Amino acid sequence: MRDVRLLETGFDPAAELAGFAHAHPEAGGIASFVGQVRAGQGVTALELSHYAPLTLPGMEQLADEALSRFDLMGLQLIHRVGQMTPGDPIVSVCAAARHRRDAIAAVDFAMDHLKGDAWFWKRELRAGEWHWIEPREQDRDDLARWK
């Protein structure tokens, strides 16, 4: 099972994880990660832009690569675009496998690629001004370890 979604509206990560787990009762391990808009440092909003012709196909290709690389029963990638506020979920990745290591590694793999090699542009609203967010060196290093 592969579930890849790009959303312009909010989603409930707990409900998504519950539905994913319910769909994989035979899994010995389900790993998940939820990224959310950070509160603090004066951030009042986060906006993610993307290039539509590449974003969803790129996410689908990433899911296919994770499914072929790890022994998985299922993978779910959900990513938001548009404007969000602190505490809003941005991304959710869930992986189901017979054994925990494959599930955990698949989530790590997918998140490293979504953070370091993705089709999104991010900016934060702080003190009434928008500021672009560039990938960190750590994001590049995390991605490089999968090469």
52-99 residue pLDDT tens: 899 999 999 999 999 999 999 999 999 999 999 999 999 999 999 999
DSSP string, 30-76: EEEEEEEPPP-TTEEEEEEEE-HHHHHHHHHHHHHHHHHHS-EEEEE
| Structure confidence at residue 139 (pLDDT) | 80
**Separation CA 32–CA 104 (nearest Å):** 8
Contacts of residue 126, Cβ cutoff 8 Å, sequence gap at least 6: 41, 42, 43, 44
| Structure confidence at residue 61 (pLDDT) | 96
Residue 33 β-bridge partners: 93
| Structure confidence at residue 32 (pLDDT) | 98
| Structure confidence at residue 99 (pLDDT) | 94
* pTM, two decimal places: 0.94
**Separation CA 72–CA 82 (nearest Å):** 30
Q: Where are the domains of the chain?
A: 2-144
2-144: what fold? Aldehyde Oxidoreductase; domain 3 (3.90.1170)
| Mean pLDDT within 36-57 | 93
Q: In this structure, are residues 80 and 10 in contact, taking their beta carbons and an 8 Å threshold?
A: yes
